[in-house]
Amino acid sequence: QVQLVESGGGLVQAGGSLRLSCTASGNTISINAMAWYRQAPGKEREWVATINNDGLSNSDLSVKDRFAISRANAKNTVYLHMNRLKAEDTAVYFCRAYTEWDDYWGQGTQVTVSS
């Protein structure tokens, strides 16, 4: 089992920045990759970015030039650095961890961008 706890969300003005954190605990050695997703009100959850154990990352085109995912393996933590935030980035942001046999979700952290 893997447990995930996100933090760092909050209220920010458009154009501002936030850094989200997701810390894994439990059977962390089984994690192959970690990702960020988000879900805006009334919309489906969507993928934002992924990073694997080798540090290779990818992100959705809609955020590629503004968001960056990074990982501190020693801390079992993955970050989402969000810059030049827009009102449409308002959502609950979720962390996801992938193992060979399963995947796990965090409880989410709210990001609200005021215009």
Residue 74: per-residue pLDDT: 78
Q: Considering only CA atoms, give the Rg of the chain.
A: 13
Q: Please report the DSSP string for 57-107 in residue order.
A: EEE-TTTTTTEEEEEEGGGTEEEEEE-S--GGG-EEEEEEEEESS-EEE--
Q: Which of 104, 110, 84 has the alpha carbon at shortest distance from 23?
A: 104
Residue 73: per-residue pLDDT: 78
3-class DSSP state for residue 28? helix
pLDDT at 31 over 90: yes
pLDDT at 99 over 90: yes
- For 35-90, write each residue's pLDDT tens digit: 999 999 999 999 999 999 999 999 999 999 999 999 997 779 999 999 999 999 99
Query: How many helices and strands, by DSSP H and E, does the chain display?
Result: 0, 11
To the nearest whole number, what is the mean pLDDT of the chain?
96
Residue 75: per-residue pLDDT: 74
Please check whether residue 4 is in contact with residue 97, taking contact to mean a CB–CB distance below 8 angstroms: yes
Joined together, the tokens standing for residue 96 give 């996801």
